[in-house]
Structure 1
Amino acid sequence: MIRTIKIVFFLLFVSAVNAQVRDSVQVEIVIDTTVISQSIDSIIMVPEEHPENDRQPGSLRADSIQKPRMIYIERALLDSLLRPYYNIEIDSTKKRIYGRDILITPKYRMVIDEKSSDTSYIPLPKKIEYFSKIKTYGIDTLGFSNAIELIKIKRIKKAKKPVWWDHKNSIGFDLNEVAFVNWNSGGQNSVSGLFKVQFARIYEKLYTLWSSEISARYGLNNQQNTGLIKTDDEIRLTSTFGYRKDTLSNWYFSAQVNFRTQFTDGYKNPDDEEAISKFFAPAYFHLGIGSQFNLKEERFSVYISPLTLKSTYVFDESLSNEGAFGVEPGENARHELGILIRTKWEKEIFPNVAMVNDLDLYSDYINEFGNIDIDWVLSFQFKINKVFQASFRSHMIYDNDIKIKETNEEGEVEILGARVQLKQQLGIGIIYNF
């Protein structure tokens, strides 16, 4: 009898333990069973097969754990791991073959700091709805006495007309000064100024190129003992018209006009009374036809005219009677027919340093063919800012018709041969482009 009672109590004890362990294994948590098995006092055997019809969505099942077959777990240890972070609710009314349904909801939400990448946990809100419904109000539609009509506007796209003209205008003034006060090495005070203007108009359209430029320069120098003298005097006008057969060619059939003279009288020495040059004495006029090679991107052009008329005018009686500038004594003009080659190249050789190279070569067919008249202007512009700039200009002229005059020891005037004329100028001043 006593033996039978012990067997009944043992079966009841095993049944109770079995139910308790089944409740605990319904959570999908990976646990090292070798560690937990050291403190267990319950054992459960998980079957190999499970009926598919016993599965219900939303419930954690013991059939999700199949390996190892033998699982040792303690319900108190499982609760201690989960309850600080989860709400665990057991529905004891729904009994299943392998345990009861367990509802697990998290208590905290993990937050990652963007700067430090550290993690922290904050409690989740208990309420889901935080916005209460409010009443909505409406108004009646508004009516208009006059109907609104939709007017269609036809958009016309108008392209801007291309600009065929290019305008270049500049006015500048250079100033140089030398002053001495008790200077041991000696010297004379002087101040000089140079006024210069330049206007250019360029018309370029498909096959046609028309370039016109007028420039003027006038400079004075005032020294302490010698007084006021002229340092620069020039008026220059150039106009070139060209026509090409297609838009791909850089060669133009061209005609060119060039004119050059001066403003006021020029003297060899400040104390001289007789002028060696005057307005329209001389004046040079070139008219020719030929071909021009133009590279717009490189700002380089070459004009070659095998037929160029060169006219030298001396509209002053005294200079005309002397036969100055190659005219016959008493005549006012001299005409020549020859070949003219003119090149112009503008280039920025360094940042804010520009170079302009303008070279004219002319030779007469009739009178001493092979003697080349040279007119070469090489200038550099050093830009300081939008207003101020420094400039260096070198002008070389060789004309076989211009003879040099010198007075000998006996006071007689001797006419020598042609020589190279050279003038250099260096200054700093202001420039205004518009």
Structure 2
Amino acid sequence: MIRKLFLILFALFAFTAQSQAQDDIQLADTLIINGETIIMLGDSVIILRAEQPKYWKKGGNFNLSIQQVSLTNWSAGGASNMALNTGVNLFANFQKDKKIWDNNLTVSFGFNRQSDRRFANRKTNDNFVFISKYGRELTPKWYLSTQIDARTQLLSGYRYFRPSGAELDARTKISDLFAPAYIQSSTGLNYKREMKNNDKISVIGSPFTGRFTIVMDDSLSRAGAFGVIPGEVVRAEAGMSVTSSTDIQILENIRWKMDLNLFSNYEKLGNLVVNMNSVISMKVNRFITTRIETILIYDERVLITRSDETKGPAIQVQNLINFGIGVDF
């Protein structure tokens, strides 16, 4: 009998304690300040912070590859040499409500050194590309966008040759920083789509495009290089353009990025200026990667000195295959 009475009293005590705890929770004071929920329960203060929206996405990639060959008393012949190629790609993309602002910077540089020749250090890669695009959403996949595309190089560029009867190479300066520089501004419709695996496709068609060719080097300007009027620094053109950007995963650990820009002057519709950059990245592990980079340029106003010493427009192609360090951040 006493045991049953003890059990009943214990059950009543537990029920009363639980009811009191529930009453304490129900009577807790709740405040909301600047989106943060503050709960005060007795001597305890609980702060529940609202998740802050992230409008910016930032990141990039750095790659570096080095090759060295050293020969001493090598009977098979050859020459000691060293090659370096490096590059960095940075992006900062903003999206809020119906507004987007995408920014991308690519800088790459490479050189080759062969000690037994005149002008031992020779540039093999030198590119600076900055693209900024601002847009407002019309539909989930269509935007009205304005884009700025700026391209130049960092160091002087030379054409190397050996004059007839000479024993040593000579060189002629053919380009420099801001000689040339290309600035293109375009406004039009932008189709933009993002898929799984962070795959992205973007195409801008612009009937209103301004393109400016800048040659800041006096000697190149006087020669009328890159299509400017001899003695002038800037050549301005109006026309239409199509710009596309593709970033897709082909296979596991293999991605392909391609940027294509086509421009046609209204004075000569159909004569295209072509700029294409393609990069295939194959990751071995977190830090080791193989990159196949291809740059293709065609501009009929840029006269190229060919191997037979004739001058004229030509397709410019640069191919790079790098195996080395690649870090995403």
Give your verdict on TM over 0.5.
yes
| Alignment partner of 1:264 out of 142, 155, 159 | 155
Task: Please tell me whether residue 234 in structure 1 is matched to residue 127 in structure 2.
Answer: yes
Quote how far apart the aligned CAs of 1:342 are.
Answer: 1.0
Equivalent pairs counted in the alignment come to 278
Give the 3-state SS of the residue equivalent to 1:197 in structure 2. Answer: strand
What is the CA–CA distance in structure 2 between the aligned matches of 1:152 and 1:396, rounded to whole Å?
A: 70
Quote how far apart the aligned CAs of 1:378 are.
Answer: 1.5
Q: 2:295: which partner in 1?
A: 395
Kept in 1, the 8 Å contact 2:246–2:258? The answer is: yes
What is the CA–CA distance in structure 2 between the aligned matches of 1:332 and 1:420, rounded to whole Å?
A: 24
Quote how far apart the aligned CAs of 1:303 are.
Answer: 1.3
| Alignment partner of 2:97 out of 193, 198, 206 | 206
What is the CA–CA distance in structure 1 between the aligned matches of 2:242 and 2:75, rounded to whole Å?
A: 52
Quote how far apart the aligned CAs of 1:328 are.
Answer: 0.7
Task: Please tell me whether residue 424 in structure 1 is matched to residue 323 in structure 2.
Answer: no
Amino acid of the residue matched to residue 390 of structure 1?
T
Q: TM-score, normalised by structure 1?
A: 0.60
What is the CA–CA distance in structure 2 between the aligned matches of 1:371 and 1:268, rounded to whole Å?
A: 27
Mark the CA change 1:406 to 1:299 in structure 2 (over 3 Å): closer, same or farther: closer
- Map 1:62-141 → 2, pairs under 5 A: none
| Alignment partner of 2:189 out of 271, 291, 294 | 291
Q: 2:88: which partner in 1?
A: 197
- Map 1:17-32 → 2, pairs under 5 A: none
Gaps of 5+ in 2: 1-23, 25-40, 162-168
Q: 1:275: which partner in 2?
A: 173
Amino acid of the residue matched to residue 263 of structure 1?
L
Mark the CA change 1:276 to 1:154 in structure 2 (over 3 Å): closer, same or farther: same
| Alignment partner of 1:315 out of 216, 220, 224 | 216
CA deviation vs aligned residue, 1:122-181 (integer Å, no higher than 9, x gap): xxxxxxxxxxxxxxxxxxxxxxxxxxx981657553321111100012222111234556
Q: TM-score, normalised by structure 2?
A: 0.79
Quote how far apart the aligned CAs of 1:406 are.
Answer: 5.5
Quote how far apart the aligned CAs of 1:384 are.
Answer: 1.4
What is the CA–CA distance in structure 1 between the aligned matches of 2:306 and 2:137, rounded to whole Å?
A: 50
Kept in 2, the 8 Å contact 1:355–1:381? The answer is: yes
Give the 3-state SS of the residue equivalent to 1:325 in structure 2. Answer: helix
Q: 2:286: which partner in 1?
A: 386
Task: Please tell me whether residue 351 in structure 1 is matched to residue 235 in structure 2.
Answer: no
Q: 1:326: which partner in 2?
A: 227
What is the CA–CA distance in structure 2 between the aligned matches of 1:392 and 1:185, rounded to whole Å?
A: 30
What percent of counterpart residues are identical?
29
Q: 1:375: which partner in 2?
A: 275
Kept in 2, the 8 Å contact 1:176–1:427? The answer is: no
Q: Note the aligned Cα RMSD (angstroms).
A: 2.2
Quote how far apart the aligned CAs of 1:354 are.
Answer: 1.2
Quote how far apart the aligned CAs of 1:273 are.
Answer: 4.2
Kept in 2, the 8 Å contact 1:282–1:325? The answer is: yes
Mark the CA change 1:185 to 1:363 in structure 2 (over 3 Å): closer, same or farther: farther
CA deviation vs aligned residue, 1:3-51 (integer Å, no higher than 9, x gap): xxxxxxxxxxxxxxxxxxxxxxxxxxxxxxxxxxxxxxxxxxxxxxxxx
CA deviation vs aligned residue, 1:316-364 (integer Å, no higher than 9, x gap): 1110111000001111111111111111111111111111111111111
Give the 3-state SS of the residue equivalent to 2:226 in structure 1. Answer: helix
Amino acid of the residue matched to residue 294 of structure 1?
K
Kept in 1, the 8 Å contact 2:213–2:235? The answer is: yes
What is the CA–CA distance in structure 2 between the aligned matches of 1:316 and 1:156, rounded to whole Å?
A: 62
What is the CA–CA distance in structure 2 between the aligned matches of 1:185 and 1:378, rounded to whole Å?
A: 37
Kept in 2, the 8 Å contact 1:176–1:428? The answer is: no
Quote how far apart the aligned CAs of 1:287 are.
Answer: 0.8
Quote how far apart the aligned CAs of 1:289 are.
Answer: 0.7
Kept in 2, the 8 Å contact 1:261–1:280? The answer is: yes
| Alignment partner of 1:157 out of 35, 48, 68 | 48
Amino acid of the residue matched to residue 209 of structure 2?
T
Quote how far apart the aligned CAs of 1:224 are.
Answer: 3.7
What is the CA–CA distance in structure 2 between the aligned matches of 1:433 and 1:375, rounded to whole Å?
A: 25
Quote how far apart the aligned CAs of 1:190 are.
Answer: 2.0
